Amino acid sequence: MSDYKIIERISLLTENERREFKKVIKQEGNKQQQKLYDILSDLIISGKPAEKEKLFRKIFGTSWTTERDYLLRNVFRHLTDAVEDFLRSKVTDKKHEQRKELLILRRMIEAGQFTSYEKQFSSLIEEAEKAADLDFMADLYDLNRDFLTQQKLITISNCEKAEQNLEHYWQLRIRGVMHELASAYVYQGFVQRSKRVLVAEPANLQT
């Protein structure tokens, strides 16, 4: 099943993303890609193997031959590219949405809508914290620092709120670093053990 790159790529999609991607390729109007995607999606769910000859007949309505194989490879390649582009767009969409949220917050500050700003800021910080999105949290904190400074709103109350938010941020940041270090330590141990085994193998073969 996983001999085909396209099957590996489709397997990366969540259930919701698969439904969303199906709509995307339907809008693009490529019938062959739609057929291939539907067939492979069903095979992935069922766990059945993908057989080139059967795929070719279902997509092109004729028998597979060596001479015609390039037709199937082309559909494979184009559908693989489409899935990869879709996956990249999910990351881009997230960053784009975050930039829009920051823009809205800045507009609120410029318009003097401080109550709305603080409410929206608190909501976004809470969401970012739950998602452990440290980069977005840092962007929000940078904006809020500028807001407090420029609007001369550095009060004891606001400082206490900022301290509380930053405490959560640093806890998440430290937790992330510790996780990365632990993963690196485990990987280092695996590499060292593997190396010792490989070095010892020639000696074992000679005895």
Give the pLDDT of the chain (207 residues) as one tens digit per residue: 445 788 888 988 888 889 999 999 988 878 999 999 999 999 988 888 888 899 999 999 999 999 999 999 999 999 999 999 888 888 777 788 888 899 989 988 888 888 889 899 989 988 888 887 878 888 888 888 888 777 666 677 777 777 777 777 787 778 777 877 887 888 788 888 888 888 876 555 555
- Residue 80 is predicted with a pLDDT of 92
Beta-carbon contacts of 11 under 8 Å, excluding residues fewer than 6 positions away, are: 2, 44
- What whole-number distance in Å separates Cα of residue 10 and Cα of residue 189? 33
The predicted model scores a pTM of 0.55
Distance of CA 116 to the CA centre of its chain: 31
Residue 3 backbone phi and psi in degrees, to 5: -65, -25
**C-alpha of 143 from chain center:** 25
Would the CA dihedral through 107, 110, 112, 118 be positive or negative? positive
Backbone angles phi, psi at 95, to 5 degrees: -65, -40
Please report the pLDDT score of residue 90 as a whole number.
Answer: 81
Q: What's the pLDDT at 1?
A: 41
Token readout for 203 is 């000696």
For residues 99 and 128, give the distance between their C-alpha atoms in angstroms, rounded to a whole number: 13
